[in-house]
Chain A
Amino acid sequence: MHLTGLDLLFWAAGLGAHLVLLCVLLIRRRFRVFPIFTTFILANVVRTLALYLVEVYGNKASYFYTYWSLAILDTVLQLSVVYEMYSLTFRPLGIWARDLRGSFVWLVAGSIVVAIGLTWLATPHARLWMQVVVIKGSFFSSACMSELFVGMIALSVKAGLPWKTHVARISQGLGVYSIIDVLIEAGHSYFGVNRNTQMYTTLSHFRMTAYLCCVAFWIVMLSKDAKGTRKLPESLRGQLILLQGNVDLQLERVRARRQS
Chain B
Amino acid sequence: MTKSATPKLTFVLLLVVLTTSAGRAFASGSSPTSTPPSTTTSSPSTPNGVTGTDPEPIEPDIVGLILTILQLG
Contacts and interface: CB of A to CB of B under 8 A. Distances in A.
Chain A complexes with chain B: yes
A169 interface: no
A67 B56 contact: yes
Contact of A1 (B31, B55, B60, B65): B55
B25 A129 contact: yes
B19 to A, nearest CB: 7
Contact of B52 (A47, A132, A198): A47
- Best-buried of B41, B46, B54 by chain A (most CB within 10 Å): B54
Contact of B47 (A48, A55, A62, A207): A207
B30 A125 contact: yes
Contacts of A123: 28
Task: Provide the main secondary structure of the chain A interface.
Answer: helix
A130 B58 CA distance: 10
A63 B64 CA distance: 11
Interface stretch (A102-110, A133-141, A220-228, A229-237): A133-141
Contact of B54 (A51, A125, A127): A51
Task: Provide the main secondary structure of the chain B interface.
Answer: loop
A201 B55 CA distance: 10
Contact of B31 (A65, A75, A126, A139): A126
A83 interface: no
B60 A61 contact: yes
Contacts of B14: none
Contacts, number: 172
A204 interface: yes
A125 B31 contact: yes
Interface string A67-85: 1100100110010000000
Contacts of B50: 71, 74-75, 138
Contacts of A1: 43, 55, 57
Interface string A193-220: 1100110110110011001100000000
Given A127-B23, A135-B47, A7 B28 contact: no
Contact of A60 (B22, B27, B28, B59): B59
30 contacts: A1-B57, A2-B41, A2-B43, A51-B54, A63-B57, A64-B61, A71-B48, A71-B50, A74-B51, A74-B52, A75-B49, A75-B50, A78-B49, A125-B30, A125-B31, A126-B28, A127-B27, A129-B27, A130-B23, A131-B23, A131-B46, A132-B28, A177-B51, A185-B48, A189-B47, A193-B58, A194-B35, A200-B45, A200-B47, A201-B45
